[in-house]
Structure 1
């Protein structure tokens, strides 16, 4: 390992352009934002160091075992977030960047490419909400006062934004790419002349300085690793990247899978599946770690932990061959979670999807499973188990790999025809992960509040009649607006009563699940008035109260505490029945 001769930014980007410098698949994708790119260019202009770079000289025999990617040039948050595959010729060596990808990519985008991110308030799926912007330098003055302490005024502009600039000011904005394209400093000066600013010394000086730091100053210091031992390289990579966004080991293992798959690009397949899963229903935030773990689980790899020894060519060949089915099973499982009313906002443990996907995979279930009348009971068994596991304490935390292997064994033995809810619960209890809470735990659950991630699952357990395939909101039975400190004092309540009611207002006993449109229409009416309007028929009104375990409904804030205490008692009993409370002393 040793330092390579220092070189310029322009020469380095030429190597990027020729794919002489590439990225190993172990690299994370590009994550910098425009503000970070601007600060990098400001540092260049001010003569600040931009840090060293680490590369790995990969010999042809080693290169053949891995997949490599090119640097991002035209980033688009919607349609072009993934690096292009580098097409290396057989026998071609490679120089892969291990540290410095974000900086080199930012230089490449700023000097050669573009950046497109979603416009504020723009729709996520609307391509027009992602305007293409390019980096410009105002060569006539320094940057206005700013919190980042920037001296040079670099900005990203779309064509439309540039056209909206005052006509007198517009000539001072120069596209940075033109400076990169200028072969000599004289050509850079000619840019000023073309804008009628050739006699403006400040403009000429700034353009000349930018050309000089890009084309002349040897600012790129590359340290090169030449060893071909992959374990050593992975260790170096983790260590040098630990100061930034810490990489999970799955990032590294994905590189190995990518090199070993023959039928498809593992990186594209995994990222694509992650994107599809996260677009289901109201949206989720599953990670590639979960997808890789699911792949090991569903293909029956014995040890599903993230270790290099589990990513053998044999295991990866099986995963490659079964990938479409693995993806289908995961999408079906996530679809069920969405049907249960869950989303990123309410799913407190992503790992719950893995055993569900395994069960569906074993049964070779398709999307028809979600609607088939013959599977209604099976879906309800899954729903109950999922919700109860999300409400229980510590199920999906420590010892996850061991738990997943145990659940897989149970499904293999008992899940051929129906979801083995009882057998799974017994195995979980044997591991100290019981779904049956103690009375103290029930008291704690009843104190869950509005806005908590687990509150939806808890209400869904309590009210199984709710059809969660329709969008439901967690709603205050007695509107929160009527229980504000100001409203309570206006009602003549003393400070002690105000404090008590404020503490109870957002707790479970004052919450219910209402369909979105119904909740919006409910507004801030007192519970008794609203319910009589919504259910004018006495039988229907009584049925509404019974379904939602509601005692006599209050008509004013003065009746709230009596209502709260009565409903808390009803929910306590209902929760005990739904979860199967055990005596903490006897264990029964």
Structure 2
């Protein structure tokens, strides 16, 4: 391994775009966020060291045995989050990046490309949810807020955000445009003059510092490994990636599988499956490649622990052989979770889909399982188990590998004809993952808040008769907008009760699951008014009120506290029964058993 002469950022980026530098399949995906990219560029402009890089010279006779990827230029969180596979001409050597991919990709995105990530609270499938942004330098002033420690005001902006208003100086300079300047003298002076910032204090220095950082200084120090021994190269790769953004087991597994699968491209297969699970049909989930790989290991019967010793050819052969069945099982599991009413906003523990997919695989079910009347009772058992595990604290957190392994053992023995819920819950209890509930837990569930992590699951347990194949929203029975201090007083609520009203309206007893369209129609209406207009007949209205524990109570604003306590009591009874909580003498027996 030899140290190479330092080069400029411009030199490296041009080599990347000439496909002289590629990424080996053992590299992880690009994971840096915009702030990390900005900080890297700020460090370069300040002349700070950015660490050394490790490159691997891959000879022509060796390169044909491996898969390589080009660098990502235009990152889009939904549509283009991954680098594309590179084509290496036969008989041609190449240079692969073993250490420094994140930094080099960040520089490539900052200088030549763009970054588009989902706006907060935006819907994943909205066309405006991922604004395309490029990196700009503020020529007019330095950062006002130095909390992040930036010396230069570098920001990812849309072109519209960076465009100056008529008559104002054009102060946002696209970072990549510095490569288009003929020199740092007259050309830079003309650029600043045309932008109307030539007389702004510090403007020339800021642009000059950018030019120096990318085109003059030589901060790219790198070592070159020339060995063609794949085992040695992998060992080096693991060692040098032990710091920074930690290399996960799934990254390595996916990388190893890419080289070890004989018929399929593991990386492409996993990417495609993740996309299908998350956005296929009307599904909206956020399952990760980590989850897909964990499920693949479980279904293939491979050791689930995150250890490098699992990266064997034998294990990869098992996963590749089972891959078609793994795909089908996971897609059916995702479809079933969607039928149960879950989405990325309501599914708080993605790992629950793994044992579900393993069960569907073990039973060798077809797509008909999702809708057949014959399997309706079994689907209900599965749904109950899933919602119970999501409502119970601590089930899908620590000890996940042990939990999955034990559940897989039970499914292998007893999962051929139906979901063995009792056997599964028994084995989970032996490792501290009991799904038995106590009265104190019921009280805690009644304090769940609107849009809380477990609220949707709790409501689906309370009111299981809904057709979750349709879209349902968490809804306030008494509308949230009615609970401002002003509106409460106007409605006749006594001053002394206003704070209690405001403390209670967002809790479970004032929540229900309502179809998407009815929820939009309901809006600001009080429950009494909405029920009157939405259910034209007395029988329909009474059926709705009874099914949702709203019957025999006043639904006027001044009766909210009375309604809240009555519905809370009814919910306690429902939860106690649905979750099998022992009461009375049974509770005493259960307590004595725990003490013993």
Q: Tell me whether the two structures share a fold, i.e. TM-score over 0.5.
A: yes
Instruction: Give aligned pairs, total.
Output: 577
Question: Does the C-alpha gap of structure 1 residues 189 and 119 become closer, same or farther in structure 2, counting only changes over 3 Å?
Answer: farther
Question: Match for residue 288 of structure 1?
Answer: 289
Aligned pairs (5 A) from 1:166-565: 166=166, 180=179, 185=183, 212-223=212-223, 229=232, 232-241=235-244, 245-280=245-280, 281=282, 283-301=284-302, 303-490=303-490, 491-495=492-496, 497-565=497-565
Q: Deviations over 1:258-304 (max 9, x none)?
A: 11112222122212222222225452221211111100111122x22
- 136, 145, 148: which is aligned to 1:147? 145
Q: 1:510 to 1:166 in 2, by over 3 A?
A: closer
1:392 shift after superposition:
2.0
Partners of 1:159 and 1:556 in 2: how far apart?
51
Superposition RMSD in Å: 3.9
Q: Which residue of 1 aligns with 2:52?
A: 53
Residues 63 and 493 of structure 1, relative CA distance in 2, 3 Å threshold: farther
Q: 1:34 to 1:192 in 2, by over 3 A?
A: farther
For residue 370 of structure 1, report the CA deviation from its aligned partner: 2.1
Deviation at 1:339, TM superposition (A): 0.9
Deviation at 1:461, TM superposition (A): 0.8
Question: How many Å apart are 1:387 and its aligned residue?
Answer: 1.0
How far apart in 2 are the matches of 1:527 and 1:96?
Answer: 64
What do residues 491-515 of structure 1 show as CA deviations (whole Å, max 9, x unaligned)? 35243x3444433332222222221
SS at match of 1:23: strand
Query: In structure 2, the residue corresponding to 1:222 is in which secondary structure?
Result: strand
Q: TM-score, normalised by structure 2?
A: 0.83
Measured in 2, the distance between the counterparts of 1:92 and 1:18 equals: 14
User: In structure 2, how many angstroms separate the alpha carbons of the residues matched to 1:102 and 1:433?
Assistant: 38
Kindly provide the CA deviation profile for residues 98-134 of structure 1, in whole angstroms up to 9, marking residues without a partner as x.
Answer: 4432332233344444555679999855779867666
Query: Secondary structure of the residue that 1:411 maps to in structure 2?
Result: helix
The answer to whether residue 591 in structure 2 is matched with residue 585 in structure 1 is yes
Give the CA deviation at 1:575: 1.3
In structure 2, the CA distance between the partners of 1:92 and 1:320, relative to structure 1 (3 Å rule), is: farther
1:23-74 C-alpha deviation (Å, 9 max, x unpaired): 33343333446665555445444x4224112314366698677543222234
Spell out, residue by residue over 1:120-170, the C-alpha distance to the aligned partner (whole angstroms, 9 max, x if none): 9998557798676666778xx544664368777777787888888659967
Contact (CA 8 Å) 1:143, 1:151: kept in 2 or not?
A: no
Give, in angstroms, the shift of residue 487 of structure 1. Answer: 4.0
Asked if the contact 2:30–2:105 (Cα under 8 Å) also holds between the matched residues in 1, the reply is yes
Q: Deviations over 1:201-257 (max 9, x none)?
A: 99998877655543442221224567853564354234332xxx4442221222111
User: Does structure 2 retain, via aligned residues, the 8 Å contact 1:389–1:395?
Assistant: yes
SS of the aligned residue for 1:30 comes to coil
Q: Distance in 2 between matches of 1:434 and 1:516?
A: 34
5+ residue gaps, structure 1: none
8 Å CA contact 1:142–1:151 kept in 2: the answer is no
Q: What is the distance in 2 between the residues matched to 1:320 and 1:430?
A: 33
Name the structure 2 match of 1:567: 567
* SS at structure 2 position matched to 1:423: helix
Shift of 1:520: 2.4
The answer to whether the Cα contact below 8 Å between 2:249 and 2:308 also exists between their aligned partners in 1 is: no
Structure 1 contact 66–255 (Cα < 8 Å) conserved? no
Matches of 2:412 and 2:128 in 1, distance apart? 49
Show the counterpart of 1:25.
Answer: 25
Which whole-Å CA distance do the structure 1 matches of 2:477 and 2:569 have between them?
Answer: 16
Shift of 1:474: 1.8
Q: Distance in 2 between matches of 1:82 and 1:252?
A: 16
Structure 2 spans left out of the alignment, 5+ residues: none
Preserved CA contact (<8 Å) 2:283 2:335: no
Q: Which moved more, 1:86-95 or 1:318-327?
A: 86-95
Contact 1:142 1:152 in 2 (8 A): no
